[in-house]
Amino acid sequence: MKIITLVKQVPDTWSERRLDPETGRVDRAVSEAVIDEISERAIEAALALKDADKSTTVTLLTMGPAGALDALRKGLSMGADDAVHIRDDALQGADVTITSRVIAAALLRRPWDLVIAGNESTDGRGGVLPAMLAERLGVASATGLDSFELTGGAAGGDLVGRRSADGVDEVLRLGFPSVVSITERMPDARFPNFRGILGAKKKPVEVLTAADLGLTDLHPAVSVVSVAERPPRQAGTRIIDDGSAAAALADFFASRRLI
């Protein structure tokens, strides 16, 4: 089986994050860039399939600036076989319409059976890219899976996925080729060992531009009209129990028509 796992480099959620008021985009210079945790889980899901069938290959694919190579190297050190890096200054700030078109074009360049992605990134939180890819490629998709397993191989087998939504547990079965997205209920990613870290530097990474993919007329479907900073938070009301706290609390709720 040939698996392609989508990877994204994002600003670290533990560091400061803000928008650039001039471009309306995330200001990536103010925070450390890391591989998205949900991308790591997607890689882990692919590698688990490879562990079960040694003939399986895992290719990583990302679209991002030169620094996104670090995210690919992390996945390669975990055990992926090779990677594809779509890198083009013209793609900076691409919306999901452009992103899905570019990644779909890259997927059409090589044979594959299964694409695994995270359900949503921690920076954009769009949650629609996997489904858009499946639509563009004309293949089956299942999104937001909490777990999945294969029954048989890519030839004649099925993928059985499970997800929970609105108190309902769903079981989905789909054939190949297909695109799936997974949630944070999937297993944590493995830690790369020393051998994997050294070997990652030798694994092939194909670099592509939009022109390499035959895409020259990329126009966003969404544009940012304006950006405004979040207003500063006002200090809350502090009530100290000196014997009159109950009355003060009641007055506070009453002033806001909460009682």
CATH class of 2-208: alpha beta
Cis preceding linkage at 232, omega within 30:
no
pLDDT for 4 equals: 99
* Mean pLDDT score, 63-72: 96
- Output 226 or 155, whichever has higher pLDDT: 226
Using the predicted structure, report yes or no on whether residue 153 has a pLDDT greater than 80.
Answer: no
Q: Which residues of 14-41 are buried (b: 16+ CB within 10 A; e: fewer)?
A: eeebeeeeeeeebebeebebbbbbbbbb
Could you tell me the two tokens for 259? 């009682």
Could you tell me the two tokens for 142? 């299942």
CA proximity to 59, closest of 101, 91, 106, 95 = 106
pTM score, two decimals? 0.86
How many residues would you count in the chain?
Answer: 259
| Per-residue pLDDT tens digits for 165-218 | 888 999 999 999 999 999 999 999 999 999 999 999 999 999 999 999 999 889
CB 174 within 8 A of CB 114: no
